[in-house]
Structure formats: C-alpha cells, structure tokens
C-alpha cells in the first residue's frame, strides 16, 4: 500500500486515518468495494466499477454519499500524489451503522476509503484446486461484492498453503462458479464457455469486456452451466480479473492439465491488451 490514502474528501497519510471502533462496516463487513486497475495513472473503466458498486450498495442499503465524477477525480489525484502510474486502487465504502452497532453522532453515514498499491506478481500460468460447496448460488446477496470477504480469503489462503495459486469454487449444485477473485472460462472445440451469473459468480468487469471484444479475436463466448466433468474435455482453461487481466491455467487439481497459454487464451489476451491500449489513448 502506498503511504497516502483517500479518506472521504481528504488525501492524508495512512497513519492519520481515524475510523470508529464501533463502525458496523468494520465489525460485520457491511459495505462494498472494488479493485480498479491503474494504467498511466488513470482508473480503467471506472464507470463499470462504479455502476456495479452502486448496484451492490443499493442491495445492502449502503449510502455511497459521493458522486461518481468526484470519486474518480479524487482517485486520479491520489495516484498522482503517490506517483502510482501503474498498479491498482482499492476503493471501499464502509457503512457506519447497522445491526447492533451505532457510531458517534459526528460520523458520516458511510466512510470512503481508497488506497493505491503495486500489483502482485501473479504467475504466468496458474494452478488451481477445486473447492466444493464454496458458494450458495441461491442466496439473495450472492454475487454482491461486499466487504465481508472472509470465505474467499480463507479458501485462497488454504490453496496457497498447499502450493496452488487459487481455488476454483463450486456452488451447492456442484457447478463451477469462479475463483476467489476471478471469473473462469474453458475452451472446448474452439468455443469459450463461462458460468452464468446464476452460478453465484461475480459479474466481473473484465468478464464483461471479454464478451464485448471476443468477436474481434474470432472467438465466441457463451454462458453455460459447467460441472467438473467438463474439465476433462476442455482444451484450455483461463481466468480473468482486474489485476490478472487474462491469465492461463495449466493445472486444476485433482487431475486436469492444459497447454498454457493455449491459442484461444492467447488471442483473447492480445485482444484485451489492444482494448486497454485504445482505452488509455482516449483518456
């Protein structure tokens, strides 16, 4: 994390940030967040991230209390003062009251926090492990990107402790859903399939962009219910996220291996790189 942080309407050193110990968001995870990629000091597709945050905040009854242009401009300033041209920013809205918890009267309804940081060095080829019963697809808050991220963090930590890069999460029906912070795709007979949102996966921003640009790479992506049986007949497997962009998967435990990156994965990775380049030129 870089030293300066955005707290509500101020950019201050992280050690000067003050939050109430009885904030509902801190104690229960009541709030929303997103991770944005920084290219040339600009948050990539801030509009798509904001739209998803606003939807999720409405679901959780978390008031955002800030306008989209104001927050975007503040993030650009934060990246500039931290000299963070390439990297990422974590943007969170923490609700200050809820359930049994009420902060002091002078606290705003919601605290905004944003910090920039250097990107983690992800592996060129990922190794995943199946994690059964990880997502309840039928839940009313499933697919909401909320601050309460404990299960995903625990699954990721356990996978890494056993030598894997991430966990491939299954829902209560035994269907593929997502990784702990990435959407998943498999390639069969030249066609790309990805779980539908009804699987319990997050509506990832990079996922939506891949649907848009896939035809430019001569690729078709469809939503399809997928079970582990599909892994045996797949020719390629890859994942997508804001920080990993398009990333090849070479192995899924307990026993599937893929050429990585395969030709379809490479084509989509190159198409995404071109898309980013065009988008940055338009900033």
In sequence order, what DSSP letters do the residues of 206-255 get, joined into one string?
Answer: HHHHHHHHGGGGT--EEE----TTHHHH-SEEEEEETTTEEEEEEEEETT
Task: Note the pLDDT of residue 22.
Answer: 83
Task: Note the pLDDT of residue 281.
Answer: 57
Q: How confident is the model at residue 276 (pLDDT cuts 50, 70, 90)?
A: very high
Give the residue extent of every domain in the chain: 4-117, 125-281
The per-residue pLDDT for range 20-59, each reduced to its tens digit, is 888 888 889 999 999 999 999 999 999 999 999 999 999 9
**CA–CA distance from 246 to each of 2, 51, 140, 217, 254 (Å)?**
25, 22, 29, 14, 23
CATH class, domain 4-117, is alpha beta
Structure-block tokens of residue 29: 């995870």
Q: pTM score > 0.75 for this model?
A: yes
Q: How confident is the model at residue 102 (pLDDT cuts 50, 70, 90)?
A: confident
- For residue 54, how many other CB atoms are within 10 A of its CB? 15
Distance CA 188, CA 181 (A): 23
Distance CA 199, CA 142 (A): 9
Task: Note the pLDDT of residue 24.
Answer: 87
Task: Note the pLDDT of residue 282.
Answer: 54
Q: What is the mean pLDDT of the chain?
A: 94
86: part of which helix (H) or strand (E)? Answer: none
Residue 100 · residue 27 · CB < 8 Å: no
Residue 250 · residue 123 · CB < 8 Å: no
The per-residue pLDDT for range 221-259, each reduced to its tens digit, is 999 999 999 999 999 999 999 999 999 999 999 999 999
Q: How confident is the model at residue 207 (pLDDT cuts 50, 70, 90)?
A: very high
Task: Note the pLDDT of residue 98.
Answer: 84
CATH superfamily of 125-281: D-amino Acid Aminotransferase, subunit A, domain 2 (3.20.10.10)
């Amino acid at each position: 994390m870089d030293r300066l942080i955005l707290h509500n309407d101020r950019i201050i050193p992280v050690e000067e940030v003050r939050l109430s110990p009885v904030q509902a968001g801190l104690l229960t995870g009541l709030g929303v967040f997103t991770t944005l990629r920084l290219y040339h000091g600009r948050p990539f597709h801030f509009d798509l991230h904001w739209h998803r945050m606003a939807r999720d905040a409405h679901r959780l009854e978390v008031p955002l209390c800030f306008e989209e242009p104001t927050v975007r401009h503040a993030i650009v300033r934060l990246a500039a003062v931290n000299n963070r041209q390439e990297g990422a920013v974590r943007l969170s809205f923490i609700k200050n009251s809820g359930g049994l918890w009420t902060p002091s009267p002078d606290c705003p309804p919601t605290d905004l926090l944003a910090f920039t940081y250097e990107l983690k060095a992800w592996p060129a080829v990922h190794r995943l492990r199946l994690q059964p019963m990880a997502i309840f697809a039928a839940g009313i808050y499933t697919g909401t990107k909320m601050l309460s991220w404990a299960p995903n963090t625990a699954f990721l930590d356990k996978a890494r402790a056993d030598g894997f890069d991430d966990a491939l999460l299954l829902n209560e029906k035994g269907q593929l859903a997502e990784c702990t912070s990435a959407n998943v795709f498999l390639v069969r007979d030249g066609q790309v399939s990805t779980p539908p949102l009804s699987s319990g996966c997050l509506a990832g921003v990079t996922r939506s962009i891949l649907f848009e640009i896939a035809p430019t790479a001569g690729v078709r992506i469809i939503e399809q219910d997928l079970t582990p049986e599909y892994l045996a007949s797949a020719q390629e497997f890859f994942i997508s996220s804001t920080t990993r962009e398009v990333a090849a998967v070479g192995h899924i435990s307990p026993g599937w291996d893929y050429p990585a990156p395969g030709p379809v994965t490479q084509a989509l990775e190159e198409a995404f790189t071109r898309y980013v380049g065009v988008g940055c030129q338009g900033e």
